[in-house]
Amino acid sequence: MKKIVLLFVSAAIAITAFSQTTDLKKLPTLGIGFNLKDFKTAGLINTKSLSDVLVNKSYAKVSEMAPGLNINYYQGLTNNIDFMASLGATFTEYIYKGKTFGTNSNFLLDLDAHLNFKLLTDNYFVVPYITAGLGTSMYRGTYFMANGIGGVGLQFKLGEGSFIFVQSTYKSHISENSKENLNYSLTFASPIVDRKPAPVVAPPAAPIVVAEKDTDGDGIVDSKDKCPTVPGTVKYDGCPVPDTDNDGINDENDKCPTVPGVAKYSGCPIPDTDKDGINDEEDKCPTVPGVARYQGCPIPDTDGDGVNDEVDKCKTEAGPASNDGCPEIQAKIAELAKNIYFATGSNKIADKSNKILDEVATILNAHTNASLSIEGHTDNTGSAKTNLTLSQKRAEAIKAYLVKKGVDASRLTATGFGSEKPIADNKTAKGRAENRRVEMSSKYEVK
């Protein structure tokens, strides 16, 4: 509770420090009002806690509070701080530490002094404020107590100097027999003196000035005007604001005063963000360097293989620059060809070779620009003519298989070489086995 009050007091003082110099201090004002005194809720808050009281709804009902009257006096100290003196009277029972001092018919008199810290000045309709002060109480004309006071309130403006105050305060005990209590009040107040009108000060008589000549009508007389025939400004001694780069935009508005530019870019040239020599307004790729024929964009690379379309022979199929941008399928096909077998002395493809040829067909169907050369080879066993015929038939058998798998026949060539191109020594069984082979080589054709 003390921390909250301190926070609001600090805020009020800060607002006061920055308030306008206009005198809005409250006039001496007298108010009369009605109040309710609540000992029950204050006692529960002191012995338990505010949250416990609210959660359990153990706070006092209006019927359990003691009604009374109050007379208040207000006097403005500053625009945001008012002094308030309050005299309150209540008939109530007073119990302290289990000791009963009187009954509901006994008289309790409160005399309090407050400072009201207003968050706004009195020219506003509704003004919230924080109040803090000290008070003394007398019960039955015998018992005297002192209290510390803190609370909040709202001030409503009715007219010139008249207000309604709605206020809630908490009185904490300071002296022996003083008892915590909450006090709720509604007060009507009106000033007891009139505000003095502000003195009227007559303005001094204007001196008679003989106007000097101002040829260009720019408000600077010719004797002080360095450009007396051209309208200008005081800053430049009567001359116009300069335009160093002569681009029609004066230096004060020109962000590039020494380089001709355009108004759209505050006097600077049209920017070229990527420094490719094509300004951003004509550059379709303003943040990436490009070339003019592609409107400022880089030369495209449709297949994203790092070889631009102007040198890529396979624009839609990725491949290395070493192969002109076309895929390298030759090595794969050549390796697969090593595992193709035929029945001995026959052009019938061995069943175990079908899977290999299916893979070759898949590659060719995926790369429709590639052609394939199929070569059949034999060892030197038998006549050269027989070997040549057998190798040709074996090459054609492979071609027929691939065509059956969907490869266009126009992309395939089949050639038999017999024993003309050995790769090993025909004098050994191992060498002859290596010479009985099929070779396949692929080539991309740009269409």
pTM: 0.42
List, in sequence order, every residue forming a beta bridge with 441; answer none if it has no partner: 373
Q: In this structure, are 81 and 166 located in the same domain?
A: yes
What integer pLDDT is reported at residue 72 of this predicted model?
94
What total number of domains does the chain contain? 3
Nearest to 177 by CA among 101, 284, 283: 101
- How large a percentage of the chain has pLDDT more than 70? 92
Instruction: Look at residue 128 and give its three-state secondary structure.
Output: strand
pLDDT in tens, 381-427: 889 899 999 999 999 999 999 999 999 999 999 999 998 999 899 99
Across residues 238-262, what is the average pLDDT? 88
Whether the pLDDT of residue 377 is over 80: the answer is yes
DSSP secondary structure of 295-308: TTSPPP-TT-SSS-
Kindly state whether residues 243 and 335 are assigned to the same domain: no
Once rounded to an integer, what is the mean pLDDT over residues 203-214?
76
Looking at the structure, do residues 133 and 245 belong to the same domain, yes or no? no
Q: Is 370 a domain residue?
A: yes
Domain contains 425:
yes
Query: What percentage of the chain carries pLDDT values higher than 90?
Result: 35
Per the domain annotation, does 272 fall within a domain? Answer: no
258 and 114 in a single domain? The answer is: no
- Same domain, residue pair 187 and 89: yes
Q: Please name every residue paired with 129 in a beta bridge, in sequence order, or none if there are none.
A: 118, 153
Residue 289 lies in a domain: no
**Of 143, 175, 191, which one is at a domain's C-terminal end?**
191
**Average pLDDT of the segment spanning 6-21:** 46
- Residue 263: CA atoms inside 13 Å, Cβ hemisphere, count? 3
On whether both 11 and 108 belong to a single domain, the answer is: yes
Q: Which of 153, 176, 191 is the last residue of a domain?
A: 191
Residue among 352, 414, 351, 405 at smallest CA distance from 377: 414
CATH at 180: 2.40.160.20
The reported pLDDT for the residue numbered 208 is 72
333-340: average pLDDT: 88
Orientation angle between helical segments 330-337 and 354-366, nearest 10 degrees: 170
Q: Is there a domain that residue 101 lies in? A: yes
pLDDT at 21 over 70: no
Whether residue 15 has pLDDT greater than 50? no
Q: Give CA angle at 340 (339, 346), nearest 5°.
A: 145
Which tokens go with 141?
Answer: 């004309």
Q: What is the mean pLDDT of residues 331-347?
A: 86
Q: What is the pLDDT of residue 98?
A: 61
Confidence (pLDDT) at 105: 75
- Predicted confidence at residue 446, as pLDDT, reads 53
> How large is the average pLDDT for residues 282-304?
87
Same-domain pairing of 339 and 433: yes
| d(C-alpha 338, C-alpha 222), whole Å | 104
Whether residues 237 and 358 share a domain: the answer is no
Which residue range is the domain that position 187 belongs to? 2-191
Segment 88-94 shows an average pLDDT of 85
Q: Is the per-residue pLDDT at 329 higher than 50?
A: yes
Residue-by-residue DSSP string for 402-444: HHHTT--GGGEEEEE-TTSS-SS-TTSHHHHHHHSEEEEEEEE
62 and 158 fall within a common domain: yes
User: Residue 294: inside a domain, yes or no?
Assistant: no
Q: What is the CATH number of the domain that holds 387?
A: 3.30.1330.60
Residue 306 lies in a domain: no
pLDDT at 1 > cutoff 50: no
Whether residues 137 and 173 share a domain: the answer is yes
CA–CA gap between residue 20 and residue 121 (Å, rounded): 9
- At 157, is the pLDDT very low, low, confident or very high (cuts 50, 70, 90)? very high
Categorize the per-residue pLDDT at 149 as very low, low, confident or very high, splitting at 50, 70 and 90. Answer: very high
Same domain, 176 and 257: no
What is the C-alpha separation between 379 and 433, in angstroms, rounded?
A: 7
437/388 same-domain check: yes
Average pLDDT, the chain: 85
Kindly state whether residue 310 falls inside one of the protein's structural domains. no
